[in-house]
Amino acid sequence: MKVAVVGATGLVGSVMLKVLEEKNFPVSELIPVASEKSVGNKIQFNQQDYVIHSMQQAIDKKPHIALFSAGGSVSLEWAPKFAAVGCFVIDNSSAWRMDETKKLIVPEVNAHVLTTNDKIIANPNCSTIQMVLVLQPLHLKYKIKRVVVSTYQSVTGTGVKAVQQMENERNGIVGEMAYKYQIDKNAIPQIDVFLENGYTKEEMKMVKETKKIMGDDSINVTATCVRIPTTGGHSESVNIEFENDFDLQEVHDILTNTAGVILQNDIANFEYPMPLFADGKDDVFVGRIRRDESQPNSLNLWIVADNLRKGAATNTVQIAEYLLGKGLIG
């Protein structure tokens, strides 16, 4: 099993390598790929050194799977070239997510739609992944009408440059800025660029991707996405309006039995999800579950997940595991 990791030296790429190791994914040959300036350098994987390849060098090796985390423009140019040699590309950028010919996959929700013909598979936005994992089982039971979500997103979602900005500000160092404003001791209500409707691209990703992954355009979604000075994961305050009423204990039971979800909802002992404890974990944590007393059939809850793991690298590897487990990779 030849596996290429495109963007291997980046924040998400390095976590992909870590997840592949942890899951003992059957890699017979690793093909790390990075920018031209890194080609020829070495990285470690499973206690072995591997030389970093260029894009074309990697394609020439005809990998079975390529995990992409190198940005949208790179994916648009190179993913089809990998696919042309029979490689399954699982892409972590936004390049292919809303392409009608490409599947947008969260394995626990909709991996069953994948076939051998899906050579380019899109990995959803990190904030969307953790939300739909909680929404899907509740939708199947009670039918969701509307979702109102506010996110509190880690600087790691922007990348190394943003983490460095926060650390510099905390240490009184003047350095390169990933954001227009200071992020330490601040909250920035803008993630990605603003669109004509006044929403950001990140907010509209959550709207459109949720409908596509859950396969239901009738679900109304509205989002506000905020960057905050944390690491360890993204947090989301989610208000859900259902068509049918629900029982709170039944909601607890449903989420307790949902693969990939861990219930942390013991307020008597101050147990609720936080980035501090989600850091480095693959699960999605949900808590602060309570009935919305302002309108019928509505629920409030709080969702936290490590955006570099389940929100990116882990979900990508899980898609690869599904392809392998179902015998879709020759």
> Catalytic residue positions?
126, 234
In sequence order, the 6+-apart residues with CB closer than 8 A to the CB of 73 are 95
Q: If pLDDT is split at 50, 70 and 90, which confidence band does 186 have? A: very high
pLDDT (0 to 100) of residue 148: 98
Span 61-98, pLDDT tens digits: 999 999 999 989 999 999 999 999 999 999 999 999 99
Would you place residue 264 in the very low, low, confident or very high pLDDT band (cuts 50, 70, 90)? Answer: very high
The amino acid sitting at 276 is: L
Q: Where do the domains of the chain lie, and which CATH numbers do they carry?
A: 2-124+312-325 (3.40.50.720), 127-307 (3.30.360.10)
In whole angstroms, give the CA distance from residue 190 to residue 167.
20
Ranges of H-type helices in 119-273: 126-142, 160-170, 201-214, 248-256
Cβ-based neighbour number of residue 175 at 10 Å: 12
Cβ burial of 272 (10 Å; 0-12, 13-18, 19+) is middle
Q: What are phi and psi of 301, to 5 degrees?
A: -155, 170
- List, for residues 143-172, the tens digit of each pLDDT value: 999 999 999 999 999 999 999 999 999 999
pLDDT, tens digit, 9 for 90 and up, residues 295-320: 999 999 999 999 999 999 999 999 99
Long-range pairs for 176-179: beta carbons < 8 A, 24 or more residues apart:
179/227
Q: Distances in Å between the alpha carbon of 293 and those of 29, 125, 236, 298, 300?
A: 56, 31, 19, 8, 10
- Position 36 scores a pLDDT of 86
Q: Of 63, 74, 60, whose CA–CA distance to 7 is shortest? A: 74
